[in-house]
Amino acid sequence: MKKHKLTLPYYACIALASLCFLNTSILEAQNKKKKKKNADTEVVAEAPKKSKDKTIEELVKSSKEIDGLFKIYQDTIKGSLQMLISEDQIGKEFIYFSQISNGVMDAGRAMRGIYQGSKVFKVEKYFNKIEFITQNTSFYFDPENPLSKSKDANISDGNMASIEIAAYDKDKKLYLIDADNLFLAETFSQIKNPSRPGASPTEFKIGNLDKSKTKILGINNYPENTNMEVEYVYSQPSVLNGGSNAVADGRNVSIKVYHSLIAMPENDFEPRFDDPRVGYFTTEVDDKTSASSTPYRDLIHRWNLIKKNPELELSEPIEPITWWIENSTPLEWRETIKEGVLQWNKAFEKAGFKNAMVVKVQPDDATWDAGDIRYNVLRWTSSPEPPFGGYGPSFVNPRTGQILGADIMLEFAHFSNRVFYDKVYELTSSTKSFENLTSNSNDHTYCFLGDELHDEMMFASSVAEAAGASDFELERIKKESMTALIMHEVGHTLGLNHNMKASQLFSPEQLNDPDFIKGKCLTASVMDYAALNVTKDRSKQGQYDDVAVGPYDIWAIQLGYKPFKTEAERQALLNESTKPEHIFGNDADDMRSPGKAIDPRVNTGDQSNDQIKWAIDRIELSNNLMKDLKINFSTTGESYQELRRVYYLLSSQKGSAANTISRFIGGVYVERSMVGQEGEKQPYTPVSLDDQKRAMNALSTYVFAPDAFDAPNDLYNYLAMQRRGFNFRTPEDPKIHEQVLGYQKAVLSHLLHYNTLQRISDSELYGNKYTLSTMMSDLNNAIFKSDISGNVNSFRQNLQLEYTNMLIGILTNKQGSKYSNLAQSMALYNLNAIKGMTSSGGDISSRAHKQHLKTLIDNALKEIK
Ligand SMILES: [Zn+2]
């Protein structure tokens, strides 16, 4: 039979399985003729019925065998896949992990190196089928507790696939299944992003999965993991919008994905549980048999680092965390990258490990790909539309929190002078991308430090250039910020999440002392998105960015990795959280978005323990630079693109600094120390009256005042983009009023946010002395008082109208009924006050503006009655 099979076509092979070869094959042929129309379905319907009598050997005869965790057979003619499951794999748990091997920004999150998370699945047998079932890992039941008998109640597992067994080997206890549907469809994970609600109909969308074009690109099988690279093709007959230049043909878009099926690690890894005082990534687990008000068994993500010599205070690990610098990395950056990674060894030494981190370079002739999960790779790309300058994802065993692999993606754009975003004066790029990218995903490892740093680096370089700095100094800015970026992204891969409060460590005076900061981390942690240290007084300029890990980092690594002898020892270390250098607050607490959080110390793009003073300095520094911009940034023989870039850069720095200041108004400091802990502070303390007043005065002067955005008028004549073919934005003139109003609106959207106003009223009950009525009266005065009786310049007209409309919005509930009664009363009071202030004085333009204001208010008052 075997001999015959080699030469027979597929349908005849099936027929051969029956003993009457001739008769059956004739019948088969006749049937085919009779039912020509249904030919396809007929063959498919018959195949399983007949193939069940074939042996595994027969079914894989024309296939290449690829041995590994799950043995794979690939047909040498058609490329189709079969997979072998052994009896001892049935009922067992495995880990599934996937990452994007290559894609385009246009397809949502489908970009090279994006991790799609890991999950646990079980292989089960159900009669004649093999099932792949996702396990729910979110709950814990104490096995000693009788409740554990009902641990499956109201919890859904996920049956991803149920595939008929094609052949069974009784002796070897092996099952063969067709694996095309496992890997060529979106069986294990969703690849195509669902379209966003409210997405514009003209927005680019990829088509539907085209199975005929989808194919296996590579199979790498190892004893511990089975890996498959698949190219998914999404097709549609026609497109309205063909996507960006990165898409060659909008009708056919490819997303390449690595799938990995991984053996559940069998080791004595000890899970550690999360503590709110330190910031590790976690897998959240609820203890359903605990009566505690905090029934959490959240597993922190950490590597399985074990001392080679446990008796030694300082020992090398049995297996270090090894990093590979991808061979695509520019040669001149390799040493800096290596040094950045190895800085973490200082933290591990405090945790008892010597040489915990090791760095190697991927050889140019390496036989492995950087996407191989067995290697942790520092990767380097130059993407058409880089979403971030750096990204440091890791993936874990969801049962224990053990980190199994990690990569770091770096973007060349980080070191270019390109501006990543178009409308620079809207939200900062990071806020924008953060919101877009995280809305569809639970991936908390997105990191936008690269973007922030890129802006900061351009700012620092512009200040240095304007002051005539040497090339050496400009290189130093790049090197320091690269070191900081690497340390930060590596920190993520060690399990640490952001610490946006870390920049509170030093005072402005300390940061202005080059000797004091030399060789240090400029904040408590490299996990912050701190602004670069750029001094207003150039003679005090020292280090620009972190060159070492910070004190918080060293403490946190000890908590995650130190082999504690007792729980008391761990608790004692945790109790050091009240030390100023262990200050911590992450993205959930940070105030980068208007109205989102409450502690102004937890913020991005800021610096020092006096952010108001720091922000004023930065605004003044930008204003000073603006004066000689044209002289310093115009180059003979070149276009004005560079001048335009620096103008928008300085303006956005001012906008960002203004936002930092605004967060103090209505702010409440948060402490997370435990009851009775040494150095304990009450959880909520409103910002002092002095600081809130100081913030309001600063906003009045630097954001709202009639001259706040003065720039040399003849500068505007030169803010020109360089023309490029037909692909040129029109109309091209600088939109100066829109830009300035953008910064002012950003500040107002925080001050007048329903959360901010509600908190001001509430915190009056527990220590806030800057009352809602005072704050809103001060704001009204800041926006109207200085010019309402005379001429109102065009920036102020814009601001006053926008603000008035916002007050009307509060009253007329255009934002729903989220505003408190107290806030609405003050909005009404202010509208009446504006009406009262509005005289008929001033030039025609000012009178027109005031009439407009009056009409708006009158109409609104009529509406609310
Ligand atoms: Zn980050």
Q: Which residues contact 335 (CB under 8 A, 6 or more apart)?
A: none
Q: Which residues contact 289 (CB under 8 A, 6 or more apart)?
A: 140, 141, 142, 145, 147, 148
Q: How far is the CA of 92 from the centre of ligand 1 (A)?
A: 35
Give the Cα-Cα-Cα angle 653, 658, 660 (nearest 5 degrees). 95
pLDDT for the residue 416:
65
Q: Kindly indicate the confidence band of residue 50, based on its pLDDT and cuts at 50, 70 and 90.
A: low
User: Is residue 781 pLDDT above 70, yes or no?
Assistant: yes
User: Is residue 338 pLDDT above 90, yes or no?
Assistant: yes
Q: Alpha-carbon distance 764 to 754, whole Å?
A: 16
Task: Give the pair of three-digit tokens for residue 762.
Answer: 């509430």
Q: Alpha-carbon distance 408 to 833, whole Å?
A: 56
Tell me the average pLDDT across 115-121: 91
Tell me the average pLDDT across 520-540: 95
Cβ 582 vs Cβ 621: under 8 Å? no
Q: Kindly indicate the confidence band of residue 199, based on its pLDDT and cuts at 50, 70 and 90.
A: confident
Cβ 820 vs Cβ 828: under 8 Å? no
Residue 143 CA to its chain's centroid (Å):
37
Q: Does 107 fall in a domain?
A: yes
Residue 200 belongs to what domain range? 56-263
Is 173 in a helix, a strand, or coil?
A: coil
pLDDT for the residue 389:
63
Q: Kindly indicate the confidence band of residue 52, based on its pLDDT and cuts at 50, 70 and 90.
A: low
Q: Does 753 fall in a domain?
A: no
Q: Does 339 fall in a domain?
A: no
Look up residue 193 and give its DSSP letter: P
Q: What is the pLDDT of residues 630-666, one digit of tens each?
A: 999 999 999 998 899 899 899 999 999 999 999 999 9
Q: What is the pLDDT of residues 251-293, one digit of tens each?
A: 999 999 999 999 999 999 999 999 999 999 999 999 999 999 9
Q: How far is the CA of 525 from the centre of ligand 1 (A)?
A: 11
Q: How far is the CA of 605 from the centre of ligand 1 (A)?
A: 13
Q: Does 206 fall in a domain?
A: yes
Q: How far is the CA of 56 from the centre of ligand 1 (A)?
A: 49
Least Cα distance to 76 among 58, 63, 95, 61 occurs for: 63
Is 383 in a helix, a strand, or coil?
A: coil
Measured from the Cβ of residue 527, the count of other Cβ atoms closer than 10 Å reads 28
The CA–CA distances, whole Å, from 517 to 233, 436, 454, 544 equal: 53, 37, 22, 10
Q: How far is the CA of 447 from the centre of ligand 1 (A)?
A: 4
User: Is residue 319 pLDDT above 70, yes or no?
Assistant: yes
Lowest mean pLDDT among 380-384, 427-431, 443-447: 427-431
Express as a percent the part of the chain with pLDDT over 90: 71
Domain count, the chain: 1
Q: Does 301 fall in a domain?
A: no
Q: What is the pLDDT of residues 286-310, one digit of tens each?
A: 999 999 999 999 999 999 999 999 9
pLDDT for the residue 28:
43
Q: How far is the CA of 4 from the centre of ligand 1 (A)?
A: 61
Tell me the average pLDDT across 793-803: 97
Q: List alpha helices for 684-820, DSSP H.
A: 689-699, 713-716, 736-751, 754-763, 772-784, 794-811
Whether this model's pTM surpasses 0.85: yes
Q: How far is the CA of 484 from the centre of ligand 1 (A)?
A: 11
> What residues does the ion ligand 1 have nearby, CB within 5 Å?
447, 449
Q: How far is the CA of 619 from the centre of ligand 1 (A)?
A: 26
Express as a percent the part of the chain with pLDDT over 70: 88
Q: What is the pLDDT of residues 672-692, one digit of tens each?
A: 999 999 999 999 999 999 999
Q: Which of 40-44, 88-92, 725-729 has the highest mean pLDDT?
A: 88-92
Q: How far is the CA of 497 from the centre of ligand 1 (A)?
A: 7
Q: Does 487 fall in a domain?
A: no
Tokens 């799950």 sit on residue: 70
Cβ 809 vs Cβ 815: under 8 Å? yes
Q: How far is the CA of 763 from the centre of ligand 1 (A)?
A: 32
Q: Kindly indicate the confidence band of residue 198, based on its pLDDT and cuts at 50, 70 and 90.
A: confident
Q: Does 255 fall in a domain?
A: yes
Q: Does 215 fall in a domain?
A: yes
